[in-house]
Amino acid sequence: MSEVLLWVVGILVAAVGVAVSIALHEVGHLLPAKRFGVKVTQYMVGFGPTLFSRRRGETEYGVKAIPLGGYIRMIGMFPPQPGDEPGRVRASSTGRWALMAEEARAASFVEVGPGEEHRTFYRLPVAKRIAIMFGGPFVNLVLALVLTAVAASAIGAPGLVPTVSSVSQCVLPAGTTASECGPDDPPAPGARAGLQPGDTVLSFAGREVTGWEQLSDLIRASGGRTVQVVVERDGRRVELTATPVLTRRAVLDERTGEPTGAVEEVGFLGVSPSIAVVRTPLAEVPAVVAGQVAGVANIVLRLPQRLVDVAQAAFGSEARDPNGPIGVVGIGRIAGELNARPAIIPGDELAERTSRLVSLLAGLNVALFVFNMIPLLPFDGGHIAGALWEVLKKALFRLRGRPDPGPVDVAKAMPLAYGVSLVLIGMSALLLYADIVRPVTLG
């Protein structure tokens, strides 16, 4: 298959994956809403003009032109003001912010028919409202777990394993450009211990070895000490003794992998790992996804600075941060590049490319989960935050012996929601431009 075709396939897989993830997110809202008796008038994937739709029962299902999200439309999202008739805009609401809230409140009652007042969203108990709003992000979280399990546990990915691929014959001085041993270079500890290519390290210094990263840490921490090394060689166990030497090595940045300029003394054995398909144990998948959630949350918390960095890269000479935010165009480019990249392990091209794309879709669902949990309207987290505030408010009123204050009027936050929406539009435009003129590449 040609590289161009692989690019196109990768982009199509990403596009379909994003659309399906969004559609299932909205199903996560739709099913509990219908289960709890709320009238849902629309289920839409996308925004803007409707490309096509079909009505089934009381709900219109369709796809819109701008594939940047989706929504379900439930009647009675916001409670009326005390004493007001549902759906009426107060004549006294002349302030700009108050009028926004009143219009949003009235619009949420436009489709409430006679005798349907009991089917409005705001009348549900708090727990059911939270279940509806959390249903969408929860689906994305489940998708992230399932896709990560498929990519990391079922298929696996190329990784370093503690099987020796080569053994250094000497210890070269730090910073040297030499590639061959000189007469004055001391022998490497691994070669002196009798390690050979093809040996699989089973234990080191009395610790069972489960992966190359763990073995590397054990070697670095064992400088100057004599340790026992157990390897598997040609189907049998061989016990060896090694003494890693202390060497000065550059300290690398954990995030970028680039040298920091500092040096440290670490143990050196002189062996290199092999590359093989590594499968993550299924029990470790939740921890992997949790780490991804924390990483995306960190990006969200630092989003203003991250967007400044994107703008400096797009309109200046700054380099684009590969770990920063990207837009839909950037996601497509990365998917195409991932699919077109040659396989690391020959003969396993299809599985490796599938694992890459499935991992990408898992990461996208993690991002959808985190962004939708932001406790601001129009995100799902904004409605959840409003419902939780209602619980707290009612508890405080009960403690003070005051009457039930009723539902929290989330409509009052609509001016903020419009402001957040404008910021999202601006962010999407910036990322679109940056993804075109200064795209993120995998290197």
pLDDT band at 63 (very low <50, low <70, confident <90, very high): very high
pLDDT band at 83 (very low <50, low <70, confident <90, very high): low
Average pLDDT taken over every residue of the chain:
86
Under 8 Å between Cβ of 38 and 121: yes
Q: What is the phi/psi pair of residue 120, to 5°? A: -80, 155
pLDDT band at 200 (very low <50, low <70, confident <90, very high): very high
Under 8 Å between Cβ of 80 and 410: no
Q: What is the mean pLDDT of residues 394-422?
A: 83
- 231 beta partners: 201, 238
Q: Find all residues with CB under 8 Å of 298, minimum gap 6, and list them.
A: none
Instruction: Tell me the per-residue pLDDT of 276-300, one tens digit each, with 9 for 90 and over.
Output: 988 999 999 999 999 999 999 998 8
Q: What is the phi/psi pair of residue 118, to 5°? A: -75, -10
Q: What is the mean pLDDT of residues 58-64?
A: 92
Question: Rounded to whole angstroms, how far apart are CA atoms 125 and 294?
Answer: 31
- Give yes or no for a cis peptide into 32 (omega within 30° of 0): no
Instruction: Tell me the per-residue pLDDT of 311-355, one tens digit each, with 9 for 90 and over.
Output: 888 888 777 887 788 888 888 888 888 888 888 887 778 888 999
Question: Rounded to whole angstroms, how far apart are CA atoms 371 and 72?
Answer: 18
Question: What are the CA-CA distances from residue 404 to residues 161, 257, 401 (Å)?
Answer: 62, 57, 9
Q: What's the confidence (pLDDT) of residue 173?
A: 64
Under 8 Å between Cβ of 150 and 351: no
Task: Name the catalytic one among 26, 102, 337, 390.
Answer: 26
The closest of 422, 286, 372 to 29, measured between CA atoms, is 372
Under 8 Å between Cβ of 411 and 93: no
The closest of 6, 311, 282 to 148, measured between CA atoms, is 282
Under 8 Å between Cβ of 404 and 365: no
Query: Model's pTM, two decimal places?
Result: 0.84
Under 8 Å between Cβ of 283 and 308: no
**Cβ of 321: how many Cβ atoms within 10 Å?**
17
**183: Cα separation from own chain's centroid:** 52
Q: What's the confidence (pLDDT) of residue 4?
A: 82
Question: Rounded to whole angstroms, how far apart are CA atoms 28 and 139?
Answer: 6
Residues 387/389/395/400 CA torsion (nearest 10 deg): -140
> Active site includes 3?
no
Residues 29/34/39/42 CA torsion (nearest 10 deg): 50
Q: Find all residues with CB under 8 Å of 138, minimum gap 6, and list them.
A: 28, 369
- Amino acid identity, position 174: A
The closest of 434, 334, 286 to 18, measured between CA atoms, is 334
Flag whether pLDDT at 93 surpasses 60: no
Q: What's the confidence (pLDDT) of residue 91?
A: 47
Flag whether pLDDT at 220 surpasses 60: yes
For 224, which DSSP code? T
Instruction: Tell me the per-residue pLDDT of 9-31, one tens digit each, with 9 for 90 and over.
Output: 899 999 899 999 999 999 999 99
- 225 beta partners: none
pLDDT band at 208 (very low <50, low <70, confident <90, very high): very high
